[in-house]
Amino acid sequence: MHVPACVLCEAGPEEVVWRDARLRVIVAPVDGLGDVARIIWHAHVAEMTDLGAAGRQHLMAAVWTVEAALRELAKPAKMNVASLGNYVPHLHWHVVPRYTDDAFFPDSIWSARRRTGVIHGLDRGQLAAALAGRFASGAQPSAPA
């Protein structure tokens, strides 16, 4: 039986801004919006409940750390956080800064476009440094002061 390749197991070129033994944080562009982050669990599991309690805690702490860093750096109108995986059933979270002038606002980024959309880029180096600092400090993720 042919098992289809998983694009998150067999990752192609990715812009990884942080990683550890269990997960990686990447930045990727979304047409009509700009850069978003994804937190991808390395192992091929589909659901949060496939992870043990420690794994779930580790993953969610990473999600909130990325959210806090993006709030500080991107200053979005709103943050969207989502785990779907209907197309790629390999555990990953989308952490998406949203802007009132992006192509989809106020709908989800998977909705029909409402306008052309202003592109909001992220400085990868700045984000990587911010994440390294936040993960190294072990501080609880929090909003910008």
Match 């309690």 to its residue by tokens. Answer: 53
Tokens of 36: 């978003």
- Near Zn ion by CB under 5 A, which window of 19-27, 41-49, 71-79, 130-138? 41-49
CA 105 to chain centre: 18
Asked if 43 is part of the footprint of Zn ion (rule: CB under 5 A), the reply reads: no
Identify which of residues 46 and 139 has a Cβ nearer to Zn ion in the complex.
46
Identify which of residues 88 and 128 has a Cβ nearer to Zn ion in the complex.
88
Identify which of residues 4 and 144 has a Cβ nearer to Zn ion in the complex.
4
* Termini Cα distance of the chain: 54
Judged by CB under 5 A, the chain residues 55 through 114 that form the site for Zn ion are: 90
Instruction: Provide the minimum distance between the beta carbon of 46 and Zn ion in the complex, in angstroms, as a whole number.
Output: 9
Match 């700045």 to its residue by tokens. Answer: 126
What order of strands is seen across the sheet that includes strand 15-19?
15-19, 23-30, 34-41, 92-98, 78-82
- Near Zn ion by CB under 5 A, which window of 43-51, 53-61, 73-81, 95-103? 43-51
Count of residues touching Zn ion (by CB under 5 A): 5
